[in-house]
């Protein structure tokens, strides 16, 4: 907490959000009366940190179904991710995972000792038990998406198959993330919280997943390369280097930055769809659940843009304070549109006029701005409010002083 406050010292709205977060009651949910749910939410908290809180704030009708959807997919992902499992062993598990989730008592211990969510699969019988208690309609949605995703993962795990073209890149991201959007939209419509139109707009649901996944893939260049995984499409990196790993060589620094802005621009192509999707979501808890990962993605893209560090450092992240602030602010479409505008402007301001994607990125930022002005006029006042908070950090205003005092109080309680 103390280091998070220090990192956000020049961002008073973040300090305030951190302090509020710190002071909020820790035990919001009590699962002690139901041992199975206690284990399930324990696993959720172990795997996803801040996102676990967002799932737990969903309305009761959807909370367990989405928690289990998340854990089932995380189980599948933990098999796909593990490069210590031989392909001959891995592929059949990926292809049959949608049947495995109906097998009471099934567990998996073949993950390597360093696989971070290994324990989830070691205790996967609890996930299956929870899954079998869901309404059949939710079970069917989860099993269908798991089957399609498992087959897609199996295809891309096959030796010799790589992400070559931009169409492959979109297809791979569709399997691992776009399908999640389709499944969630079906759940939102099936429970009656959202209109049937939400499930019908598969294009928009897909874009929700693609925007998140492409941001992750762009950020994780170095980590994936270290593990011998390559998700950047050759159609993009091939314009800047002979081999994908050449981008890290210091002599290729300029080409690497050009390649990075190409990847950032490609991801930004989904932002219009994201806003259109979020505009459809009416239930407040579904809205926050959907909006938070998206605003975190645009904040992450802003951090990645023109940032050579992604070729030299693993695990670069937005500040904890920024995360907590975004979680607090993302509760209606005007505020989310204002956040999109704020980051689109920051991205545009950082662009280098010598970069070959300078104009493309500028146009993408301008389009976001235009859509928000036309469709979400309330975002203008929200943007002014957000900017007042952001600016206060550099102008030494009263808000800064107040936030620093608040920060000091929090620091004191940390060390007390």
- 301 near ligand IN0, judged by CB under 6 A: no
Distance CA 72, CA 144 (A): 12
The residue annotated as part of the active site, out of 69, 156, 175, 289, is 289
Q: Select from 12, 150, 152, 181 the one that contacts ligand IN0 (CB under 6 A).
A: 181
- Comparing CB distances to ligand IN0, the nearer of 186 and 369 is 186
| 331 three-class SS | coil
Residues 88-127 that bind ligand IN0 (CB under 6 A): none
Distance CA 187, CA 55 (A): 14
Q: Select from 180, 310, 383, 406 the one that contacts ligand IN0 (CB under 6 A).
A: 180
Q: Do 145 and 180 contact (CB within 8 A), yes or no?
A: yes
How near is the Cβ of 224 to ligand IN0 at its closest, in Å? 14
289 is catalytic: yes
Distance CA 300, CA 297 (A): 5
- Comparing CB distances to ligand IN0, the nearer of 258 and 273 is 273
- Binding mask 135-164 toward ligand IN0 (x if CB under 6 A, else -) reads ------------------------------
Q: Select from 20, 45, 48, 387 the one that contacts ligand IN0 (CB under 6 A).
A: 48
The residue annotated as part of the active site, out of 39, 148, 229, 345, is 229
If binding means CB under 6 A, how many residues of this protein chain bind ligand IN0? 20
Would you give the DSSP letter of residue 201?
Answer: -
Q: How far is CA 6 from the centre of its chain?
A: 25
Task: List all residues 6 or more positions away from 140 whose beta carbon is below 8 Å from its beta carbon.
Answer: none
231 is catalytic: no
Q: Give 313: exposed, middle or buried? Use CB within 10 Å, 0-12, 13-18, 19+.
A: exposed
- 188 near ligand IN0, judged by CB under 6 A: no
**Nearest C-alpha neighbor of 288 from the set 94, 4, 17, 57:** 57
Q: Determine the interface stretch with ligand IN0 among 179-187, 227-235, 237-245, 361-369 (rule: CB under 6 A).
A: 179-187
Distance CA 42, CA 369 (A): 40
Token representation of residue 116 = 């971070």
- Comparing CB distances to ligand IN0, the nearer of 184 and 383 is 184
Place of tokens 């309305």: 59
- 346 near ligand IN0, judged by CB under 6 A: no
188 is catalytic: no
- 70 near ligand IN0, judged by CB under 6 A: yes
- Comparing CB distances to ligand IN0, the nearer of 285 and 360 is 285
31 is catalytic: no
Give the up-direction half-sphere exposure of residue 353: CA atoms within 13 A in the CB hemisphere. 0
Distance CA 82, CA 35 (A): 29
Give the binding site for ligand IN0 (CB under 6 A). 48-51, 66, 69-70, 73, 176-177, 180-181, 184, 208-209, 212-213, 289-290, 293
Where in the sequence numbering do the catalytic residues fall?
172, 219, 229, 289
């Amino acid at each position: 907490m103390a280091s998070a406050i220090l990192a956000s010292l020049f961002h008073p709205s973040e300090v305030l959000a951190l302090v509020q977060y710190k002071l909020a009651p820790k035990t919001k949910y009590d699962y002690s009366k139901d041992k199975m749910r206690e284990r399930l939410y324990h696993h959720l908290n172990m795997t996803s940190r801040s996102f676990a809180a967002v799932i737990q704030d969903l309305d009761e009708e959807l909370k367990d179904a989405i928690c289990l959807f998340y854990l089932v997919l995380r189980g599948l992902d933990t098999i796909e991710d593990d490069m210590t499992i031989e392909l001959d062993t891995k592929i059949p598990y990926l292809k049959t995972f949608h049947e495995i989730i109906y097998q009471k008592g099934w567990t998996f211990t073949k993950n390597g000792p360093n696989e971070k969510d290994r324990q989830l699969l070691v205790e996967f019988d609890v996930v299956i038990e929870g899954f079998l208690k869901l309404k059949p309609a939710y079970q069917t949605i989860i099993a269908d998406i798991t089957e399609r995703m498992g087959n897609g993962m199996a295809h891309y795990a096959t030796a010799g198959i790589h992400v070559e073209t931009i169409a492959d890149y979109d297809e791979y991201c569709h399997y691992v993330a776009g399908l999640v959007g389709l499944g969630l939209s079906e759940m939102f419509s099936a429970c009656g919280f959202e209109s049937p139109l939400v499930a019908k707009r598969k294009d928009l649901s897909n874009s929700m997943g693609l925007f998140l996944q492409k941001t992750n893939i762009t950020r994780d260049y170095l980590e994936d390369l270290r593990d011998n995984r390559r998700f950047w499409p050759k159609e993009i990196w091939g314009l800047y280097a002979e081999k994908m790993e050449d981008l890290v060589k210091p002599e290729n620094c300029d080409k690497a930055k050009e390649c990075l802005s190409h990847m950032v621009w490609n991801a930004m192509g989904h932002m219009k769809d994201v806003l259109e999707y979020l505009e459809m979501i009416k239930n407040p808890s579904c809205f926050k659940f959907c909006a938070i990962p998206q605003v975190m993605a645009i904040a992450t893209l802003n951090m990645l843009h023109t940032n050579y560090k992604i070729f030299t450092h693993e695990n670069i992240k937005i500040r904890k304070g920024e995360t907590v602030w975004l979680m607090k602010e993302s509760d209606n479409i005007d505020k989310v549109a204002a956040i999109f505008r704020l980051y689109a402007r920051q991205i545009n301001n950082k662009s280098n006029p010598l970069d070959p994607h300078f104009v493309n990125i500028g146009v993408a930022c301008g389009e976001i701005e235009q859509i928000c002005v036309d469709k979400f006029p309330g975002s203008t006042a929200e943007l002014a409010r957000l900017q007042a908070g952001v600016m206060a950090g550099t102008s030494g205003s009263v808000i800064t002083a107040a936030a620093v005092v608040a920060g000091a109080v929090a620091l004191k309680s940390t060390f007390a």
